Every structure is written in structure tokens, then in C-alpha cells.
Chain A
Amino acid sequence: MNVRFCTVAALAFCAGACDANVPAPPPVRPGAAPAPAKAPGPRFVFTDVTAASGVTTVAWCGRPEKPHLLESGGNGLALFDYDTDGDLDLYVVSGWRLAGEEIAERAKNALWRNRGDGTFEDVTAEAGVGGEAWGTGMAVGDYDGDGRPDLFVTNFGKDALWHNDGGGRFSKVEDGPGIDGWSAGACFFDADGDGDDDLFIAAYVDCTLDDVLHAKPTLDWKGAKVMPGPFGLKGKKDEFFRNDGGKFTKATEEAGLTDVGEYYGFGVAAFDLDENGSLDLYVANDSNPSYVYKNDGRGKFTETGLWCGAGLQGGGAAQAGMGVAVADYDSDGRPDILLTTFADDSATLFRNLGRGLFRDVAIETGVREPSFAPLKWGVVFSDFDLDGDEDLFIANGHIYPQADTAPESRTKFAQRNLLLENADGRFSDATSGAGPGLAVAKSSRGLAMGDLDGDGDVDLVVSNIDSTPTVLRNDSPRGGRHWLTVDAPGALRVAVEAGGRKITRFFVAGGSFCSASEPRFHFGLGAAAKADRVVVTWQRGGETVLTDVAADRIVRAEKR
């Protein structure tokens, strides 16, 4: 049984009672910039601090010319606190480096420990978590309920479950759950409400290493020869593993999660989409409709993609689904979905209408135009400017390196990422004015967010094909705006009432593209210096209410 569910009934707390649960991080850490009273100039500033962060892992992905699709799928990464010291550490997934038809380097994944100030040291060797397979993505969860986050790494090859032993060490779980082949996105979530984390894994294409090594670019694309696929390649089936006391059993069909179309699965996200208290599942499928699985509350799922409004774009067409983000963009208290897609196609924002129904609102919300040209992968919603609504960050990069030279190409393999500012539910492109970090152009894939330097705003790490990740520090002017982070393991959603408005954040397992972000719930409060109420709704029922919570701090809520 997961320890986070060992506590009993939810109670309402006043701020004083709540303080007892706070592990006492200071409101703003030493060295963090004080919030200016007024902030003239740009709304957003992101600074590329990769060099200063010390992170040097190159995430390899095949050969430079990418003759096989695997070599352009890229890799994910994760921000999580492996040593439970209160700050976010970084795990970077790498594939292998190929040369000609040979394996040039079986590159390892890397674990980077945060020194507490947003700089990192490589602890891969001492943690024993480098891995040997061609890594693609990952999920983070405490599958055995010992209070320490474990790692599940999806691979081209056999997936790997790493148990966090404590003391900075991991051990590989022999005969752990997983797929042998090309798996991509994965997430730990309590599907059956029994208090432990089950595991869903999306799989992409059924192929062998020989297929990859001997692949040739044979597809005509804008006057160049590029890799073929995914059309014409056999899809690989997604799988679901039920956790019973730390032991996993394959239960895909039993749970109703059979990949009936053998679609090309990429990003996954588990969250309560129909507000019935159980975690549902969204699977972004490349070149096919998304799966939208609704949970009956007992771990039995029904696939609703083609009629709930979130499996196809508004015109009824299937898109090349890559990544997925979930948040309440329009402040109506319901979780909406953003699906990233191929180039020359809009990202799709599905507004949650309630009752498990969605509508494509990409055009009227302003998402379509800035997202149309780039090829989009990792995606996160977060309140980067602390004004109380959810902005969007999308990682971009083309799959064909030939985009740089193809006669009819109007795009590049390396692309700038995209920042969209949310203002009253309408998005506008804020990329060009958002500082030097947004000028970086690489072929990006994975994306994770979290407060790396403990200053109260949300930073980003982006994975890049055949390159080091980009670490983007959020240096946006505060302009008198405040924040609050709620650490509530096991929460289904957290709602904050501050300054006359209600802001809702949802528990989302997985999300983005093959990556995992900070699990705490971050709120921008605008000018409000306190939250009047913080309501934590727990996954297995019950609420915890905190009142009069001062801003600019991390507050912990536990189910009692």
C-alpha cells in the first residue's frame, strides 16, 4: 500500500495547522531575485543556462541523416526529486549513436543531481541508473509506496523499471513490467483505485534493430529522399500493467485498454477528464485518432476517442499526435487537452465541455496560427508569468534533417520552440520577446517543467536530438505577482481561491512527450499576497482545505 494513502480522513485546516505540514522551505531561496514592485519591459524572459547548469549529456538518436523513423523519435527527460532533498533532479534519456550500418556508441542515460541552486552534478554512476538500452522516454512514480520516486524507462528494446533504493542508489527490477520493442510514452497512475500505481505504456512501431541499421531513405519528400513511415510500418500494441503490492501483471485486455488499431502511440496522460474521481487516459497516436479511455472508477476503461470530441480535430481528421498537455486554460474548473502535431498542421486545443465531451477550439483561442508551421512535440501548460492563467510552451523540431537542403522545403530540422501567452483564454505568440532562451533553435523533442532554482517560477528543460538538453531558466519580471506551490502527493486536483478568482490545477501522470515534470501543483496568484482557500481533492475521495495561506512559499498537504 502506498504510504501517501496511509493517512485517514481529510480535515479542514487553518493556516496555523497547515504550517505543521510544511517542510519549511523558505518563501524565496537565497540568491533568488526579489520581486520588483513594477516590471517594465517584457512579460516573459527565459535564459539559456545550459552551460552554467553543468548538464552535458548528449541524447543520441542514431545517425545524422536519420534513415529510420526511430532515429527521429528523440528522447524524453524527467524532473523529479530522486534523493528527496526538496529540489528537482534531472534524468536525461539517450538513444544510441549509429554510424553507417554499425552501432557506434551504446550511450547511457544520465542522472543529474540538483545542488539546490539550479546547477547539477552527474551522479549516474553512483546511482547505478545509466541503463544499456536505446532509451526513448520515461515515467516517474512510487510503485512500491516507499516514499521514494522510482523510474520506468521506455526503450527500443526491453523497457526497464528502476527501483529507488534510497541513499542515492537505484536497482534494476528483474522481470519488471515493460514492452520489448519500441515503446514511447508511459505513465504511472492508480487506474483501479486500490492505492498503488499501475503502469500504461504506449508503443510505436514494430521493428527490429536490423531494420534500423539497414534502413534507407526511400520516401520522396519535397524533392529529397527521406525516411519512410509511419504509414506502411506495423504498429506495436500499447500495454497496461496492474500493480498488486509492487508486483506488476499484464492486464491490458482485462482493463479495456487494448490497442485495437495498433496505432502508433507516443504521448500519454492520465487525469480525471470527466470529473468522476477516477483517472482516465489519453493516448496521442501518430497519424491516427487519439485514444480517449474513460475509467469507470474500478479500473475498467471504455475507449471514446471517435465520439467524445477529443480523438479527432474539429474537421473530423486524424492528426499526427505527438505530445499532450492538460490544464484548465479557460478557468472553468475543467481539464482541457492540448495535442501537439506534425508540421503544417495546427496543434489542437480540446475544450472540456463537461460530461466527458470536448470541442476543438484551436482557431478561436489563437492556438492554430502560431502552431501551424512547426513540427511540435513536448508540451506543457504552466503559469510562467504568475498572472493566474496557464500559458503554453511547445518544443519543436522537424523529423527530416533533409528539411535543411530539400529543394522545396520551407522549414528546418532545427526549429525554435514556441511560447504562447494566455490572456483570458486566448493565446498569443510571445516567443520572440521572451528572451535569449527562446532564440535557441534545435530539433527538440522531450520537455519537462519545474522550479529548478527554487525561486517560485517554473523553469524548463528541453531534450534535443543528438545534442545536450536546453536548460531554460525563467527570469520573467515578477511585476509584483506572487506564487504558491502545493505539494500534495495523491491529489486529484487542487483549487486555489485568491484575489477573487479560483484557479484549478489537475494531477496529470505523464504528459508532454515521453517526459515527466515536477509533480507539485504550481500557482501564479497575480497581485494576491495570500490564498484565501486551498482545496485539495484526493484521488480516493475526501478533501483537505487550507485557509489564509501566505503566498510565495511551498505548502504541503497530506491526506489524513
Chain B
Amino acid sequence: MKRGMLLCGALVIAGASFALGAETRKSLVSAYDSLADTILGAKKTEHHLVKSILEIHYNAANRLFEDKKFDECAAEMALFANEGDNAVGGIRKRLIEGGHHHNAEGEAKGVYDEGFVIVTKAAKKKALAASAALQAAKDEGGGRKAAWADFEAAAAPLLAGK
């Protein structure tokens, strides 16, 4: 194993020496290029996966609202706002601890909570407020519909984005 690693290292150094002053060896550039595709692809995949989580919570909320199961609907709205439950939160924590911030720039600007992929701080606040309003609403016509409208207004732009 150690011998193999040494041999590999020697080949890389030899390759680098051979190309000294001219260019990086094509095969290494190509390998790195492929890796870049994988890295960037992983980020894109993360986006798609989180979007799927949001769509599932949104669709569940929508169905539950129509079924007049308002507490359950409010729960789905809150999970949408949080990009999933505490199990997802645990994965988010692990990624952050590993140095991965999907929206590092957005976090620095205060747009996203740490580790969040799609739901902005502002949208999270609106969706959570709508969830709480739905829990508290007593009237069939006014408060509940208003809470759902507020939630849709917060959720729609997030779901519409690529």
C-alpha cells in the first residue's frame, strides 16, 4: 500500500517535472475537470433534493388544507419553512461542520440561515407565521384562507425557482 502510494507520488512528480514551465499535464487537468463536474453536480443535486423535500411538504400541506386537517397542514407548512424536520436538520449540521455551506455568500449577507439551500430567512419567517396563524385560526372562511394565502405567497417563488 505504502509502496503503491510512493510510486503514485513519484509518477505525479515526474509528470509535473516533465511539464515544468510549460503547462499542467493534460490528464491531470482532465481529471480535475471531471471532479469539478462532480463537485458542482453534487451542489446541483443537493438543490434538487431539497426542492423535492419542499415540494413534498408543500403538496402535503395543500392536500391537508383541502381536507380541512388544519393542524396537520400547519405542521407541513412549518416543515417546509425549515427545509425538513430535525432529521434533515441533523444532516445540515453535519454538512456545516464539514465546511459545506450551500449558500455561503447568501449566509454572509444574512439572506439564508446557515446551511439552508432554498428557503430564505424572509420566506422562512413568513411561512412559519402562516403556520402559526393557521393553528390559531378558528374561523373557516377568513383566518384560515388568509393563512394559506400567506403561505402560498412565501412558498411559490421558492418552488418556481430552478
Contact = CB atoms under 8 A, between A and B. Distances in A.
Interface string A260-272: 1111000000000
Give chain B's interface secondary structure class.
helix
Interface in B86-120: 86-87, 89-90, 93-94, 96-97, 113
Contacts of B147: none
Contact of B125 (A289, A305, A309, A316): A316
A261 B132 contact: no
Interface in A52-87: none
A357 B77 CA distance: 14
Given A305-B86, A306-B86, A316 B128 contact: yes
B90 A263 contact: yes
Given A306-B78, A307-B79, A289 B131 contact: no
A232 B136 contact: no
A307 B75 contact: yes
B125 A355 contact: no
A315 B76 CA distance: 17
A261 B81 contact: no
Top 5 A-B pairs, shortest CB-CB distance? A261-B90, A307-B78, A307-B75, A260-B87, A306-B82
Interface residues of B, number: 27
A411 interface: no
A261 B71 contact: no
Interface of B: 71, 74-79, 81-82, 84-87, 89-90, 93-94, 96-97, 113, 124-125, 128, 131-132, 135-136
Given A304-B75, A307-B74, A357-B71, A262 B85 contact: no
B11 to A, nearest CB: 36
B77 to A, nearest CB: 8
Given A231-B97, A304-B75, A353-B136, A289 B89 contact: yes
B90 A316 contact: no
A305 B136 CA distance: 18
A315 B132 CA distance: 11
Nearest to A290: B86
Contacts of A261: 86-87, 89-90, 93
B69 to A, nearest CB: 12
Nearest to B96: A231
Contacts of A357: 71, 74, 135
Nearest to B85: A306
Nearest to A315: B125
Contacts of B89: 260-261, 288-289, 306
Contacts of B85: 303, 305-307
B81 A260 contact: no
A175 to B, nearest CB: 30
Interface in A352-369: 353, 355, 357, 359
Contacts of A231: 96-97
Interface in A291-315: 291, 303-309, 311-312, 315
A307 B128 CA distance: 9
B90 A307 contact: no
Interface in A201-258: 231-232, 234-235
Nearest to B99: A232
Nearest to B83: A306
Given A305-B85, A306-B84, A357-B71, 10 more contacts: A235-B93, A261-B87, A262-B93, A303-B85, A303-B87, A306-B82, A311-B86, A316-B82, A316-B125, A359-B132
A305 B74 CA distance: 13
A234 B71 CA distance: 35
B86 A303 contact: yes
A288 B96 CA distance: 13
Contacts of A317: 113
Contacts of A307: 74-79, 82, 85, 131
Nearest to A232: B97
A541 B125 CA distance: 40
A260 B89 CA distance: 8
Nearest to A292: B86
A252 B59 CA distance: 31
Nearest to A360: B132
Most chain B beta-carbon contacts within 10 A, residue among A306, A309, A311, A312: A306
A242 B32 CA distance: 52
B68 to A, nearest CB: 15
B132 A289 contact: no
A63 B136 CA distance: 50
A515 to B, nearest CB: 25
A540 B78 CA distance: 33
Given A306-B86, A307-B74, A355-B71, A263 B128 contact: no
A307 B77 CA distance: 8
Residue among A235, A260, A307, A359 with the highest chain B CB neighbour number at 10 A: A307
B140 to A, nearest CB: 17
Contacts of B74: 307, 357
Contacts of A355: 71, 135
B90 A309 contact: no
A309 B132 contact: yes
B135 A353 contact: yes
Contacts of A304: 75
Contacts of A316: 81-82, 113, 124-125, 128
A289 B114 CA distance: 13
23 contacts: A260-B86, A260-B90, A261-B86, A261-B90, A262-B90, A262-B94, A263-B86, A263-B90, A288-B93, A291-B86, A304-B75, A306-B82, A306-B85, A307-B75, A307-B78, A307-B82, A309-B132, A309-B135, A312-B128, A316-B125, A355-B135, A357-B71, A359-B136
Q: Of B76, B84, B125, which is in contact with the most chain A CB atoms at under 10 Å from its CB?
A: B125
Nearest to B131: A307
A293 to B, nearest CB: 10
A263 B91 CA distance: 11
Nearest to B121: A316
A312 B93 CA distance: 15
A486 to B, nearest CB: 33
A337 to B, nearest CB: 16
A304 B86 CA distance: 8
A45 to B, nearest CB: 40
Contacts of A288: 89, 93
Contacts of A232: 97
Contacts of A312: 82, 128
Nearest to B90: A261
